[in-house]
Amino acid sequence: MATSKKGLSTNPSSFRTWWKNLRAQRRMATTVASIERSPNIVALEGPFNHEHVFVRGVRLHLATAGSPTNPLVLLIHGAFGGWFDYREVISPLADAGFHVAAIDLRGYGMSDKPPAGYDLRHAAGDISSVIAALGHDDAILVGSDTGASIAWVSATMYPERVRGLVSLGAIHPSDMNRAMLLKPYLFLPDLGRRLVFGVPTPAYRLLSVAIARSSQREITSNTSVSFQRSNAFREITKLRKKALGIDHTLGAIVRTNRFLAGQGPAKHAKSLVSAPVLILKQNTQRWEYLAHLAKTRSCGKLHILSIPGGFELPYWENPAEFARGVEEFARGL
């Protein structure tokens, strides 16, 4: 049988077979890529339920546990995360007597990804509506990174909805903005992040590499070396990487990064937080200054605790201890 220089048979039937196999391989590769970009990659199993609520024209995903008759603890992830960031603290908090819900924010994970609504006003409105949709009058908000930004703004816009606030990695965005302007030398990484994610909308697609690097930097700079050697670290890093690649999440990630020092509604820019606040902070000059500004924002009880080890992701490294801290704070409300 004659063959070409590349070793392919010149027999028409053999060529057709080779072509069909090639097309099948390409279809399989496309299918696998599509699956990896599907929101279902974060539909993890565990001692919680996956449910959706319809609020303000969008469907938002929550991982929930505990009795709906118990006080609500609403866990809000940051710009590079998802509900799964808190998956190890959901069950301990539910066992402690709380109704627990970890949210996928608008544009993330298994929540809807509408083309608009990615600002602090909409984010706080979503949180208020979710609390009501879950059958509660108020909630204890736990926020990390830009999730903390959302929680602080929610506490000023909807004080009746916030029973208590646990903040990690950020304070009220207006105060973060003021801090970065007054003492920029303390906030060089934050200023760099602001510069990267302040690009115009048409340039979003150029940020895919920056997003991956920024996410990895957040993980490594806020966890201990010992944790970075663990299977848990490798698992959460891999999961985050997959979640950041879900279809239609790019715009949400870019815009949510702006929440850290963003602008909420002008009429609430100077509003005080009346709910009790627990701030978990590092022992750094940067955080001493942020804690000072947080005190001026709060007119209720303010508790400031240093995180053991100085890292800002305790719900990963020591979820049981983190859950106990949230529980103790909530019991005192």
- Asked whether residue 41 is domain-assigned, the answer is no
Threshold 0.85, pTM exceeds: yes
- Asked whether residue 187 is domain-assigned, the answer is yes
Provide the pLDDT confidence category of residue 21 given band limits of 50, 70 and 90. low
The verdict on 298 and 213 lying in the same domain is yes
Q: SS3 for 212?
A: helix
The verdict on 10 and 98 lying in the same domain is no
- Residue 26's pLDDT is 57
Domain that holds residue 88: 47-331
Determine which helix (DSSP H) or strand (DSSP E) holds 131, and give its type and residue range: helix 120-133
The verdict on 156 and 235 lying in the same domain is yes
The verdict on 20 and 52 lying in the same domain is no
Mean pLDDT over 129-151 rounds to 98
- Residue 29's pLDDT is 43
The verdict on 59 and 27 lying in the same domain is no
CA triple 165-168-169, angle to 5 deg: 135
165 within 8 A of 273, measured Cβ to Cβ: yes
The verdict on 72 and 159 lying in the same domain is yes
The verdict on 76 and 223 lying in the same domain is yes
The amino acid present at 153, given as its one-letter code, is: V
What is the C-alpha separation between 2 and 308, in angstroms, rounded? 73
Query: Comparing C-alpha atoms, which of 283, 11, 272, 242 is closest to residue 109?
Result: 242
The verdict on 12 and 126 lying in the same domain is no
Least confident stretch, 2-6, 145-149, 202-206: 2-6
The verdict on 12 and 106 lying in the same domain is no
Least confident stretch, 2-6, 83-87, 213-217: 2-6
The verdict on 128 and 4 lying in the same domain is no
- Does the pLDDT value for residue 294 go beyond 80? yes
Q: What is the DSSP letter of 110?
A: T
Provide the pLDDT confidence category of residue 3 given band limits of 50, 70 and 90. very low
Least confident stretch, 6-15, 46-55, 115-124, 291-300: 6-15
- Residue 15's pLDDT is 61
Tell me the pLDDT tens digit for each residue of 37-55: 789 999 999 999 999 999 9
The verdict on 221 and 318 lying in the same domain is yes
Average pLDDT, the chain: 89
- Does the pLDDT value for residue 215 go beyond 70? yes
- Asked whether residue 286 is domain-assigned, the answer is yes
First to last CA, the chain: 84
Burial of 16 (0-12, 13-18, 19+ CB in 10 A): exposed
- Asked whether residue 98 is domain-assigned, the answer is yes
What lies within 8 Å, CB to CB, of 69 at 6+ separation is: 99
- Residue 32's pLDDT is 38
Tell me the pLDDT tens digit for each residue of 229-276: 999 999 999 999 999 999 999 999 999 999 999 988 888 989 999 999
- Asked whether residue 58 is domain-assigned, the answer is yes
Q: Which of 19-23, 214-218, 287-291, 309-313 has the highest mean pLDDT?
A: 287-291
108 within 8 A of 57, measured Cβ to Cβ: no
For the chain, the domain total comes to: 2
CATH number assigned to the domain comprising residue 156:
3.40.50.1820
Least confident stretch, 141-145, 216-220, 322-326: 216-220
- Asked whether residue 42 is domain-assigned, the answer is no
Mean pLDDT over 122-138 rounds to 98
Alpha-carbon distances of 155 from 6, 145, 273, rounded to whole Å: 68, 16, 6
The verdict on 247 and 129 lying in the same domain is yes
- Asked whether residue 213 is domain-assigned, the answer is yes
- Asked whether residue 115 is domain-assigned, the answer is yes
Look up residue 259 and give its two tokens.
Answer: 């929440």
Mean pLDDT over 90-109 rounds to 98
